[in-house]
Structure 1
């Protein structure tokens, strides 16, 4: 928390020193402050902040890429694949090792990705019930969720 507050203080200082303060100046100050906090993270104890922030930025980039790929895939399925070749299905996805907040965040990310939607969260069994538009390769769908959403998410939540 100290590292985050220092970063905000450095961004505010940068904003006050700028000739005509703007939102762009704040973001520039925030980026410079982040670099300084990362550089001196051992002294101020901000390594967790740096790691989580970089993990979040990585997750955001991967999620946007996955979002674009899913849009293209759904468009391809709808436009070029005959209806009898598409295999929609419901399946359960195990989230036992996740906290409730992480499981719900993952569920929202899955829902935002075209072609999949989270239908239910079973808190007792710690499972998500997911509907997938094309479930012709179950292991590929599960691996995609694990590798492209869950693991990057865990880099900034833990």
Structure 2
């Protein structure tokens, strides 16, 4: 995480040099700082250079899922006969650390139509309420292949 803060510091220094603290200048400074740190990667921790693209991929994936689920839920809110099949499903976890489980559970909860209800005491599964659970196995497979897979990439597991 210290490389991330160093990258942010480099972005702030870049914006200071240009005397412009716009989002574009800070983003450009962040990109240049990332490139500079990447060039010095032999001296630094290599996980950071895999984590930043993984975080961006997770954010992009989440935004797409968020938009899709918002449209589905909004459609069913105004439909005379909503096409919902609510169920509580048990999703086995491949992630193990508290941070990974926290991030995954919150991403699931933030997506309309799904809600994380509980984490098993032994961290082996999540209980999830979904309003579109016609096929529970397919829902679990979609969550594991989508969100959980990308969360694992972010943390390098």
Give the TM-score, by structure 2 length.
0.85
Aligned length: 155
Q: In structure 1, how many angstroms separate the alpha carbons of the residues matched to 2:6 and 2:84? A: 52
In the TM superposition, what is the alpha-carbon distance from 1:107 to its structure 2 partner?
0.9
- Map 1:1-158 onto structure 2 (within 5 A): 3-18=3-18, 20-24=19-23, 25-41=25-41, 43-80=42-79, 82-83=81-82, 86-95=84-93, 97-124=95-122, 126-158=124-156
In the TM superposition, what is the alpha-carbon distance from 1:97 to its structure 2 partner?
4.1
Q: In structure 2, how many angstroms separate the alpha carbons of the residues matched to 1:70 and 1:81? A: 19
CA RMSD of aligned residues (A): 2.2
Q: Are the aligned partners of 2:95 and 2:101 in contact in 1 as well (CA < 8 Å)?
A: no
SS in 2 for 1:91: strand
SS in 1 for 2:96: coil
In the TM superposition, what is the alpha-carbon distance from 1:98 to its structure 2 partner?
2.0
Do the aligned partners of residues 97 and 22 (structure 1) sit closer, same or farther apart at CA in structure 2, a change above 3 Å counting?
closer
Do the aligned partners of residues 6 and 110 (structure 1) sit closer, same or farther apart at CA in structure 2, a change above 3 Å counting?
closer
Q: Are the aligned partners of 1:38 and 1:46 in contact in 2 as well (CA < 8 Å)?
A: no
Which stretch shows the higher mean deviation, 126-135 or 107-116?
Answer: 126-135
